[in-house]
Structure 1
Amino acid sequence: MTASAPSRPLRRRSATLNRPLALLVAGTFFMENLDGTVIATAAPAIASDLGVAPVDINLAMTAYLVTIAVGIPISGWLTDRFGGRRVLVTAIAVFTVASLLCALSTTLPVLVGMRVLQGVGGALMVPVGRLVVLRVTTKQDLLDAVAYLTWPALVAPVIAPALGGWIVSVASWHWIFLINLPLGVVALVVAARIVPSLDGTPSVPPLDLVGFGLCAGTLAALLVGLELLGPQHVGGALAPAGTLVVAALLGLLTALWLRRTPHPLLRFGALRLQSFRVSNLGGGVYRMVISAVPFLLPLMFQVGFGWSPVQAGLLVLLLFLGNVAIKPATSPLIRTFGFRSVLIASIVGGLLVFVAIAMLRPGTPLVVTGAVLVLSGVFRSVGFSAYNSLQFADLDTADMTDANTLASTLQQVAVGLGVAVGAVVLRVVDLTAGPGRLDPVTPYAITFGVLAVLMLHPLVEALVLHRSAGDEVAGR
């Protein structure tokens, strides 16, 4: 980074940014992200109460995540047709009621069904909420607005396992869902009062039902196939391979249909802008790699290092500490040095942190391990904030709906791919070396080494990014 800009006067607190709205939407993001993984540590307790095996509870997690992925592409059309406030309030209500029904479930099929309903609400809360904020935010306030919307995706995956375990230890698994009720009611009341009444457009083209069906099938098959690659599934390779082949074929049909139909569900025009393309293609690989970390670290600490779940969970929470510590500085860094320089620094820093994690061993001093994890949280926070702001920096307001829907879909896929990539590399290392040939830590060290190599792709895209990309948003 160059030091030519630090003399720039400090930017005053914006008087036009709708902070209550941004905080409301950030809160709904947090609920949606948290419920994606919070039941993982509570699976044994839920399974015991419902009379099933703990591994079967994974169906409730998968059903929720698949429903969110399937529902996101339709969010833009619904917002244009019925208006942002109406759709967002309905989504919060559906999510809250479904949370209550999840807590009241007495069998696994009922729980899975209620998780699907909860996923419907979550699929609309996230993209519609962000679109509502983007539509009322000026370019000068975009960086601050996106800063509010970024923290849930950073924080929720890190604290969810510890929070789920704590709730089960002091109460019962039902409170994992019941905790959403007061939050949902408050969000519902606040949303009805402060979300701008931007009516839908009566002239919206009819819904692309064929495109929706193809997108839904592609995303569902992709996420189910990735789920089958996870370590909790001990079957052969035929099921995940077959499912992923179906996903690829459906994806090809989807692309052909969306290119030829006059009113496609997803539009790809925003990818012509370098800032949006870099944020969602190179940025997609970045999100994929970063999303694997909260999955891999607890496994490495417990299986590789032999630590207790409590000790492993406390160490992983240091990622959260790094996220929070750097958050006030992320926007000033981008305004001072620009998006390109900040992205390059955060990617290089993240790559070096992965190399450092690969070198950790059970005998490494805890202070060193803790420092590496804090740094990991710092770099992931800066990188997420930069990508999430840059993707909308050069878009016109008229293109925001299509771009937001496409970005939300791509990001959901990237998060799903992250856990799968970590699981696949671990499996390949074990199969290649043979059972018992490697010490418990080595497979995880190799996996983090692979993640470091994957970070080279977003680094190359950041290096070729135009130096002035996003300068209007950064106030440069």
Structure 2
Amino acid sequence: MPAPLSCADATPAAVLPTRGFRTIALIVASAMFMEQLDATILATALPTMARDFGVGAPAMSIALTSYLISLAVFIPASGALADRFGSRTVFRAAIAVFVAGSIFCALAPSLSWLVAARLLQGLGGALMLPVGRLVLMRSVARKDLVSAMSWMLVPALIGPVLGPPVGGLIVTYADWRWIFYINVPIGLLGMVLVSLFIDETKGEAVGRFDYRGFFLSGISLGTLLFGFEMASRDGEGLAALGLAAIGLVFGLFYVHHARRHPVPILDLSLMKVPSFGTSVIAGSLTRIAQGAHPFLLPLMMQLGFGLSAAMSGAITIATALGSLLMKALAPRLLKRFGFRDVLVANGVIASLGYGLCAAFRPDWPLGLIFAILVACGFFMSLQFTAYNIVAYDRIEPRQMSAATSFYTTFQQLMLSLGICVAALSLHVSMQVGDRPQPELADFSAAFVVVIAISLLATIWNWRFAPGAGSDISGHDARARGLKRLATEAADGGDRSL
């Protein structure tokens, strides 16, 4: 077993030559795929599970929110744990906890048992997300980060697309408990591959764990998420406001605490790093659309178009195909145009592409809808590839673990918020139109709301420095090469005179 690396030895610039970045990226991606697939596949089975547990289908929403709350509470601790115990050890343990939680979910005889198991599963997912990214950042050279991130993001984007149709097939042809059992072989294989191909890296020695910050941030993020989720339910608006207020108060307490703690669990000073802070804000606005899309589109296809679950899944898988096409082209596009120009132009294209979904109608050719969704998947996947890389452009090695946990916390929060904003917009549109069930106009209104929020990210995309991430993308090097060739050509012309 190789000796652990210190943080100074484990920066993206100092990479282990024996490890191919594609291998590492795909190992990390397999764990994230498992987590993303599980997060979306469950929704399809909720009515069946409700009948087995003897409760109403609305009561099953706690099975979704308990997992999200667990993510929100435990993600901030991931960076400190990875620094203390090693990123490989924590990543492997996170997969094991997630698999254990999946087994307990499959064995659940009641809703209360399922909720407890989902909380355990959420603990594993909370550590897998940021520590997996940290493993990649510490194991891949800067010049390979764009390609590695492209490989890693594809399974993470495919998971939410495959979830609903796979869930439908399992519920239709097998027992719903297999939704959780399928995680077991994937997780066990992932643990073996992590042990074989990923080396141990630890961060610099830090002070005591920030227990007070962990408590304050956990209460704040957990109640905010739960409040967002409740806002879309009938008759629970007051409770949602109360939870959101509690979350904001504890959030203010945390900000006060973090300014005085030497090593806070969520380091707010990272927002002062230009590329990181800008990526967090712009990426958060864009992720609201990304979180809403897998929620709205399948419902629109089934309730608005009258398509079957299988047909809806076959159409919505188009976005996954688009993300696969992006994998090969993203490095070339970023090298050619640079991070800022790609984020500005592509951000508008990606948002407006998702906005076209508001205009979808049953008389549109399905081939045209499929082609538009392929383009949507391509452009939005390119946008998140760029955000996820340029965020770490000026992050110091000693800050890497704190940055990954901070970034992933907001990433998960905004994806979840996207679902809540979409559900709330849908609910408000139904109330305005006095409709008991959502119709096409309601879905169109919800798409317009989330896309309007996503387009606001353009303001912050312009704030990236022109040369942001240039040593990662190679954009400046290309520009210098062209300038040198032009100079040589000019010199040659002068000599010819």
Is TM (by shorter chain) over 0.5? Answer: yes
CA contact (8 A) 2:99 2:183 kept: yes
Are residues 1:71 and 2:70 paired? Answer: no
Q: Quick one: which amino acid aligns to residue 373 of structure 1?
A: L
> Following superposition of structure 1 onto structure 2, how do residues 390-429 of structure 1 map, counting pairs within 5 Å?
390-429=390-429
Note the aligned Cα RMSD (angstroms).
Answer: 2.0
> Following superposition of structure 1 onto structure 2, how do residues 208-357 of structure 1 map, counting pairs within 5 Å?
208-230=210-232, 233-357=233-357
**CA displacement at 1:393 relative to structure 2:** 2.1
- State the match for 2:194 in structure 1: 191
In structure 2, the CA distance between the partners of 1:15 and 1:83, relative to structure 1 (3 Å rule), is closer
Mapped to 2, the partners of 1:369 and 1:135 lie a distance apart of 40
**CA displacement at 1:451 relative to structure 2:** 2.5
- State the match for 2:127 in structure 1: 124
- State the match for 1:207 in structure 2: 209
* SS in structure 2 at match of 1:242: helix
- State the match for 1:375 in structure 2: 375
CA contact (8 A) 1:17 1:145 kept: no
Q: Quick one: which amino acid aligns to residue 131 of structure 1?
A: L
- One of 23, 31, 37 as aligned partner of 1:28: 31
CA contact (8 A) 2:143 2:472 kept: yes
Mapped to 1, the partners of 2:92 and 2:438 lie a distance apart of 52
Kindly provide the CA deviation profile for residues 128-158 of structure 1, in whole angstroms up to 9, marking residues without a partner as x.
Answer: 1211221122221221222222223311111
CA contact (8 A) 2:344 2:458 kept: yes
CA contact (8 A) 2:418 2:450 kept: no
Q: Quick one: which amino acid aligns to residue 41 of structure 2?
A: V
Answer with 1 or 2: which has the greater Rg. 2
Kindly provide the CA deviation profile for residues 78-129 of structure 1, in whole angstroms up to 9, marking residues without a partner as x.
Answer: 1111111221221111111221121111111111111111111111112112
**CA displacement at 1:268 relative to structure 2:** 2.1
- Higher mean displacement: 400-409 or 447-456: 447-456
- Higher mean displacement: 104-113 or 262-271: 262-271
> Following superposition of structure 1 onto structure 2, how do residues 429-440 of structure 1 map, counting pairs within 5 Å?
429-435=429-435, 440=439
In structure 2, the CA distance between the partners of 1:266 and 1:272, relative to structure 1 (3 Å rule), is same
**CA displacement at 1:368 relative to structure 2:** 2.1
In structure 2, the CA distance between the partners of 1:197 and 1:439, relative to structure 1 (3 Å rule), is closer
> Following superposition of structure 1 onto structure 2, how do residues 109-148 of structure 1 map, counting pairs within 5 Å?
109-148=112-151
- State the match for 1:93 in structure 2: 96
**CA displacement at 1:176 relative to structure 2:** 0.8
* SS in structure 1 at match of 2:140: coil
CA contact (8 A) 1:354 1:449 kept: no
What is the total number of aligned residue pairs between the two structures?
Answer: 459
Unpaired runs of 5+ residues, structure 2, are: 1-16, 476-497
**CA displacement at 1:200 relative to structure 2:** 6.1
Kindly provide the CA deviation profile for residues 233-278 of structure 1, in whole angstroms up to 9, marking residues without a partner as x.
Answer: 3324111111111111111111111112233111122222221122
Mapped to 2, the partners of 1:171 and 1:251 lie a distance apart of 44
* SS in structure 2 at match of 1:338: helix
Mapped to 1, the partners of 2:139 and 2:351 lie a distance apart of 36
- State the match for 1:5 in structure 2: none
What TM-score do you get using the length of structure 1 for normalisation?
Answer: 0.92
* SS in structure 1 at match of 2:44: coil
What TM-score do you get using the length of structure 2 for normalisation?
Answer: 0.88
- State the match for 2:3 in structure 1: none
- State the match for 1:3 in structure 2: none
Mapped to 2, the partners of 1:197 and 1:307 lie a distance apart of 49
Q: Quick one: which amino acid aligns to residue 237 of structure 1?
A: G
**CA displacement at 1:162 relative to structure 2:** 0.9
CA contact (8 A) 1:139 1:393 kept: no
Mapped to 1, the partners of 2:168 and 2:391 lie a distance apart of 36
Mapped to 2, the partners of 1:263 and 1:463 lie a distance apart of 31
- State the match for 2:4 in structure 1: none
Mapped to 1, the partners of 2:203 and 2:462 lie a distance apart of 40
Q: Quick one: which amino acid aligns to residue 444 of structure 1?
A: F
CA contact (8 A) 1:358 1:449 kept: yes
Mapped to 1, the partners of 2:169 and 2:308 lie a distance apart of 15
**CA displacement at 1:191 relative to structure 2:** 1.5
- State the match for 1:49 in structure 2: 52
Mapped to 1, the partners of 2:438 and 2:60 lie a distance apart of 30
In structure 2, the CA distance between the partners of 1:73 and 1:321, relative to structure 1 (3 Å rule), is same
Are residues 1:456 and 2:455 paired? Answer: yes
CA contact (8 A) 2:50 2:60 kept: yes
- State the match for 2:180 in structure 1: 177
- Higher mean displacement: 374-383 or 140-149: 140-149
Kindly provide the CA deviation profile for residues 365-390 of structure 1, in whole angstroms up to 9, marking residues without a partner as x.
Answer: 22222222222111111111111111
Q: Quick one: which amino acid aligns to residue 116 of structure 2?
A: G
Mapped to 2, the partners of 1:300 and 1:150 lie a distance apart of 26
- One of 60, 81, 86 as aligned partner of 1:83: 86
Unpaired runs of 5+ residues, structure 1, are: 1-13
Kindly provide the CA deviation profile for residues 195-229 of structure 1, in whole angstroms up to 9, marking residues without a partner as x.
Answer: 2122465x421111111001100111011111112
- Higher mean displacement: 350-359 or 294-303: 350-359
In structure 2, the CA distance between the partners of 1:70 and 1:186, relative to structure 1 (3 Å rule), is same
Mapped to 2, the partners of 1:374 and 1:197 lie a distance apart of 38
CA contact (8 A) 1:89 1:191 kept: yes
Mapped to 1, the partners of 2:182 and 2:463 lie a distance apart of 46
Mapped to 2, the partners of 1:147 and 1:381 lie a distance apart of 8
Mapped to 2, the partners of 1:23 and 1:467 lie a distance apart of 31
CA contact (8 A) 2:230 2:236 kept: no
Q: Quick one: which amino acid aligns to residue 118 of structure 2?
A: R
